[in-house]
Structure 1
């Protein structure tokens, strides 16, 4: 198949969907790969490196979309790209259709096949294409906290590390998934007092097995949350909040319980989600203060660590892309129920229930549109 890799146009997005090694894997299987000019520079990969592995460089995103059967990306589509879409084209990326209504309109209108990384599952009902970016986002979120609490950056002047004779900083991590484990691992390794919270006791037990001694694990109920935020210097949210929920884990009023000028890092960055006062920010202007509390809510933390993130993401997504390219998209979707879970839209029909509910759109199941009995 013909696979096109465009340059990401989101502000401060330095990742690219594929490494030169990934191009070699695709070309070895008889696929044609187009890379947009300088698409890999932000991750440290030159045009020449891609060409050496068999790719062809195109200098226009319009031409790349026109020539490609599969568009292989990192981030969602932006309005500038909507007109490039064509019927039957496969879009393979983080789509997040529930959050971007205009994008959903374009995907349905153009009758493309949208397959979202974030919804693909594995045999354990986990999300293997979220995992690599979640780990980097959690670790990156803590590293950003290290900067945000510095006095020169408007924080309280804490060092998030163990210093002899000084009370340890208290870090509260909500969520014991991949992001939470990443954040807690770094925070605990530097000697901070770390508390991890979750409603899933299995995840808490798993976290206890892998995290350093001294980390505290608490069931996430209202009383424990309130007790923890009173003492926290840094609160790191790592849970994805269901899009249809209108309540919040940390409400605006609860900010009054926190230490003045303490820090919230919202790794998940669901606007108005688990953290009521969260609104997306960028690497250009990452923090704001609300209710006397500093908020860091950058929605693409892994982009700051672009080379590591690109390599990790390509490692995770490439096997699925190879399957789609080898079998054809319909056969791949019919034969692989885990890939099918990622189907967002097909031939003008929305196939993701979550987006249908949030945006009040009609939807059908992937099995219905593919005529799977």
Structure 2
């Protein structure tokens, strides 16, 4: 199979789908890897490193027209729609529920799309989303430290334990991979940390991993309203179901917060868990609502592109290699967990959450494949 890796073109996106070692995995199995010139530079990988592992460096048009499978990181942008064609396999983090025009293009052109963020394992976890989530959670806390600095428009409060001063309070919504990543750093800096979740088992698992300066509370309206009154940083690490119209943090709840509180929305679902979230970029990452500073960047891991690329690659390459080795149909037939990530199949929408969010007809992956 011919695998094509284009350069990411999203604003301030510096990751790439594959590292040089990832190229080796495909080449050693008899596949051809085409990489767009300069695709790895944002992550510190040079074209020469890819060539040394057996890749062919070429241009974007050749990659899209000459590949059987496109392997990338971010969603498809409008300038890439013209390259789509029937039967082209694309494996990426589509987030199709949030991008109607992307969904239109993928259905019209009848591609086969594998959404990395929806692939599951036998425990119903999301192994390809986990690397991005952990880096996003940790990067989100680092962003809070940055924007609490007076020189960056913050209150000037250091988010760490300092002798003689009251310990800052960090509140984290969600005890998943992003929440644990955020809590690990926040607790390591000596802050008082509160983690809230509706899943008691998730809280117990988090409790086993985190130190004693972290408390674990059941997430409900009354508890959240109480906690946010004295929190210094509120971090949302909950990926909100896309068809829901309610919120965990409403606009009215912002009025309960101290005016120097910072909201870091790691999940960055527009109109999701945080009602006042709107997607920003690394070039312009913050804004104020109700006097509260918001940091809502939907590609936090890009700021740590080398780490993100290596972490993503280690998670996604085995799945992509399985598709290359078996062919997409057999790989999907053999692996019910990979099938969870099938979002487009030859003109059919096969992802329930996108269908519900966008009011579109959809079928199951099994129906699409004729199982």
Fold similarity call, TM over 0.5: yes
SS at match of 1:142: helix
In structure 2, list runs of 5 or more residues that go unmatched: none
Asked whether 1:254 is paired with 2:253, we answer yes
Does the CA contact (< 8 Å) of 2:190 and 2:213 recur in 1? no
Find the counterpart in structure 1 of residue 3 from structure 2: 3
Aligned pairs (5 A) from 1:77-226:
77-226=76-225
> Does the CA-based 8 Å contact 2:231-2:261 persist in structure 1?
yes
Taking the aligned partners of 2:220 and 2:159, their CA distance within structure 1 comes to: 26
Instruction: Please state how far the C-alpha of 1:261 moved relative to its aligned partner.
Output: 2.6
**Structure 1: runs of 5+ lacking an equivalent:** none
Which residue is 1:51 aligned to? 51
* TM-aligned CA deviation for residue 366 of structure 1: 0.6
Q: How many angstroms apart in 1 are the aligned matches of 2:120 and 2:369?
A: 18
Q: Secondary structure at the match of 2:293?
A: strand
Q: Deviations over 1:54-98 (max 9, x none)?
A: 00000x212210000000000000110101111100000000111
SS of 2:48's equivalent in the other structure is helix
What is aligned with 1:74?
A: 73
2:238 is the counterpart of 1:232: no
1:331 is aligned to 330
Provide the C-alpha distance between the structure 1 equivalents of 2:227 and 2:61, rounded to a whole number of angstroms. 51
1:259-298 pair list within 5 angstroms: 259-298=258-297
Shift of 1:214: 2.0
Contact 1:19 1:310 in 2 (8 A): yes
Secondary structure in 2 aligned to 1:231? Answer: coil
TM-score normalized by structure 1? 0.99
Kindly state the Cα deviation for residue 358 of structure 1 after the two structures are TM-superposed: 1.2
Structure 1 stretches of 4+ with a deviation exceeding 4 A read none
Distance 2:247 2:286 in 1: 20
Match of 1:312 in 2: 311
**Length, aligned pairs only:** 371
SS at structure 1 position matched to 2:185: helix
**1:9 positional shift:** 0.1
| 2:74–2:93 CA contact under 8 A, matched in 1 | yes
CA contact (8 A) 1:155 1:262 kept: no
Q: Does 1:61 find its partner at 2:60?
A: yes
Match of 2:37 in 1: 37
